[in-house]
Every structure is written in structure tokens, then in C-alpha cells.
Structure 1
């Protein structure tokens, strides 16, 4: 608890990230990983294998952008930095540990960015009592384009904390409006990935299963109803074995990875 409190109090954090709970979420994720390092190990290894294969789709050199770089748990950073001339790690905030890790890596740069483009208009809507925003767009980096881009376990997570804020501040918002907002975020993320790089890949959790005594008791969709094509790679992530999140049930995520984001967007409504 003392470590988490210190991280929360000392981590540089943009106001929007603090307001929507991203700092608390980052600190909690790091603590969970420390507790469940052994359970997470197969997932982390699978992520590294996926990234190793995905980066091979892009020619060496040039610049790479990693969206949702987080705590760098799922990212083989050294191999990325070896393959590309520059690696840009993009997230809404970066922990002190991440800052220390990249400080000695001359070709790795940190960028704090709301990759959805939704948080500022959502904050304004919640402050004024207006409807949920629909016309937001993910920001295109000024220093692009990139040779390679990767979205790291970010797609399904994008709407979660914004919708928690909607529930707190505007609980009367119709369910259809909330779902439309969530779908705008994740569809926009896929279009953004396709636009910023010569080649883009992603991995994301697809569903969440609750398991009791080895039996699946409930499966929850994690893609907000968006029909994604079959992934190129898939694996399981024992994210919260009991009693981490539930006293009796384990929580397991199914994860999918796609080597070419354009193969995903081609099966969806136009960007």
C-alpha cells in the first residue's frame, strides 16, 4: 500500500488523466502484476512473441509508434529499439519506472497523448450537461508518418474509464448513447492506426471468462459488439486468479492479435 501511495503522489500526470482515473488504474495495474507475475507470465511471453512477429512485417529502420505502452510489461522494448531507428511510446501518462527505464535509450521517446481524442470533449460535455460527444477524432502525430505502429491491449479498454465517468456524472445517459460512444472510440482507434503508419498491428482482449472450479460460469464480450475478423494469433491470460478480484472465481481473458490492422478495418464500416 505504501508503494502504491508513493507512486500515486509522485507520478507526473496530466489533469485529464488524473480526472478520469488513469493514474489510479496504472498504479493498480502495476500492483496486480507484482502479485500475479507468475500467472501473467504465459500472457507476457505470448505478447512478446506476437510483437516480435508483427514487427517483421515492417522493414527495419524508420520510426515505430507503440500506443498503450503502459508499464512496458507486454512490450519487448529492447528488440523494438534495435529494429527501428526511433521508437515512440505513446500513452496518456508514463510512470516513473518507465521514465527511468527509457532514460538511457537514445532512440526511445515518450509522448503523453489521449489517443482516442475523446477525453477533452467528454469532460466538456459532462461539465455542461451536454450530450456525449460524437464528432471527436484521434490526433494525428505531427512527426509522422511511422513505418510501424502497434496498439497494445488498448482497443477494448478505451471506453472503460470514460464510461465510468459518464455513470458517475450523467447516470441518466441512455444505454444506446453510451454504446455508440464506445463504438466510436474503438472504431476510431482502428482507423487511426491504419492512418498513422505504413504498417500497423494490434493485440487486444476479446472476451472475459469467469471460472469456478474449472467451469466457465460467464463470458463477457470485450469488443463492445464490434465484429472483428478471426485473429492471426490468440492466447489466454489468467489476469485475476481467485481471490484477486473475486473470492471464489478466476478471471481469464481471451486475447487476439492481428498482424495487419487494415485486414481488420476492411471488414468494418468505412473510416
Structure 2
């Protein structure tokens, strides 16, 4: 607990990220990874394999973007820096550990950004009592086009903390409004990815299974109703064995990876 408290108090954090709980979430994720490092190892290895195979599909050199770089748990950073001239790590905040790793690699640049583009308009709507925004765009980092981009276990997570803020600040918001807002976030992220780089890849959890004694008791969809095509790679992630999140049940995620996001957006409504 002392380590987590120190990280929370000393991590540089933009006001919006702190307001929506991203700092607390990052600290908690790091603590969970330390507790479950061995259990997570197959998932982490699969993420590294996926990114390695995805980036082999583009010519070396140029610029690469990692969207949702987080704590770099799932990112083979040194492999990326060896293949591309510049690697941009984009996330709403960066821990001190990530900053130290990036500082040791001359072709890594950190960018603090809301990759959904939704947080500022949502904050304004919650402050004024307005309707949830549905007209927003993710920003594009400075520096020109990217040869390669990868979204790292981000798609399913994008609406979670914003919707928690809606529940706290605007509980009367209808389910239809919440769903439309969430779908705008995830669909907009896919469109942004497909436009921001010559080739963009994506991996994300597809569903979450609660298990007791090896038997699945409940399955929850994680794609917000989007009908995604079959992934190019898939694997299981035992994210929270009991009693990590539930005293009696294990939580397992199914993860899918697509080497080209355009194969995903081609079956969805137009961007």
C-alpha cells in the first residue's frame, strides 16, 4: 500500500486524467500486475508476439505510434525502437517508471493525450448539465504520418471510466444515451486508427468470463455491441484469479488481435 500511495502522490498527471480516475486505475493496474506477474505471463508473451508479427508487415523505418502504452507491460518497446526511427507512446498519463524507460531510448517520445477525444467535452457536459457528447474526434499527435500504429488492449476500456463519471454526476442519463456515447468512443477509435497510419493493428479483450471451479458461470461482452470480424490471433488472459477480484470466482478475458484495423472497420458503419 505504501508503494501505491507514493506512486499516486508523485506521478505527474493532467487534471482531466486525475478527475476521471486514470491515475488511480494506473496505480491499481501496476499493483495487480506485481501480484499476478506469473499468471499474466502467457498473456504478456502473446501481446509481444502479436505486436512483433504486426510490425513485420510494414517496412522498417519511419514512425510508429503505440496508443494506450500504459505501463508498457504488454509492449515490446526495445523491439519497436529497433525497427522504427521514432516510437511515440501515447496515453493519458505516463508513470515515472515509463518515463525512465523512455528516457533511456533516444528514439522514444512520450505524448500525453486523450486518445478518445471525449474527456474534455464530457467534462464540460457534466459540469453544465448538458447532454453526453457524441461529436468529438481523437487528436492526432504532431510530427507527421505514422508508418505503423498499434492500439494496446484499449478499445474495450475506453468508455469504462467516463461512464463511471456519468453514473456519479448524471445518474439520470438514459441507457440509450450512455450506449450511444460508448459506441461513439469505440467506433471513433477504430476510425482514428485506420486513418492515422499506413498500417494499424489492434488487440483488445473481446469478452470476460467468470469461472468457478473451472466452469464458466457468466460471460460478458466487452466490445460494446460492435460485431467485430474473427481476429487474426486470439488468446486467453487469466486476469484475476480468485480472490483477486472475487473471493470465489476467477476472471478470464478472451483477447483478439487484428493485424490490419481496416479489416475491422470494413464491416462496421462508415467512419
Question: For the superposition of Structure 1 and Structure 2, which TM-score range results when normalised by the shorter chain?
Answer: over 0.9
The separation in 1 between residues aligned to 2:200 and 2:57, in whole angstroms, is 9
Equivalent in the alignment of 1:93: 93
Q: How much is the aligned-residue C-alpha RMSD, in angstroms?
A: 0.5
Between 1:16-25 and 1:136-145, the stretch displaced more is: 136-145
Superposed, 1:146-225 pairs within 5 Å as: 146-225=146-225
Alignment TM-score, normalising by the size of structure 1: 0.99
Alpha-carbon offset, residue 245 of structure 1: 0.2
The separation in 1 between residues aligned to 2:205 and 2:113, in whole angstroms, is 22
Alpha-carbon offset, residue 106 of structure 1: 0.3
The separation in 1 between residues aligned to 2:214 and 2:196, in whole angstroms, is 43
Equivalent in the alignment of 2:251: 251
Equivalent position SS for 1:121 = helix
The separation in 1 between residues aligned to 2:178 and 2:58, in whole angstroms, is 36
Q: Structure 1 residue 103 and structure 2 residue 124: aligned?
A: no
Equivalent position SS for 1:218 = strand
The separation in 2 between residues aligned to 1:143 and 1:181, in whole angstroms, is 30
Q: Structure 1 residue 72 and structure 2 residue 72: aligned?
A: yes
The separation in 1 between residues aligned to 2:54 and 2:154, in whole angstroms, is 16
The separation in 2 between residues aligned to 1:32 and 1:152, in whole angstroms, is 18
Equivalent in the alignment of 1:124: 124
Equivalent in the alignment of 1:136: 136
**Structure 1 runs not aligned, ≥5 long:** none
**Structure 2 runs not aligned, ≥5 long:** none
Residues 144 and 196 in structure 1, CA contact (< 8 A), matched pair in contact too = no
Alignment TM-score, normalising by the size of structure 2: 0.99
Superposed, 1:42-61 pairs within 5 Å as: 42-61=42-61
The separation in 1 between residues aligned to 2:238 and 2:265, in whole angstroms, is 28
- State how many pairs are aligned: 271
The separation in 1 between residues aligned to 2:126 and 2:218, in whole angstroms, is 33
The separation in 1 between residues aligned to 2:134 and 2:100, in whole angstroms, is 38
Equivalent in the alignment of 1:41: 41
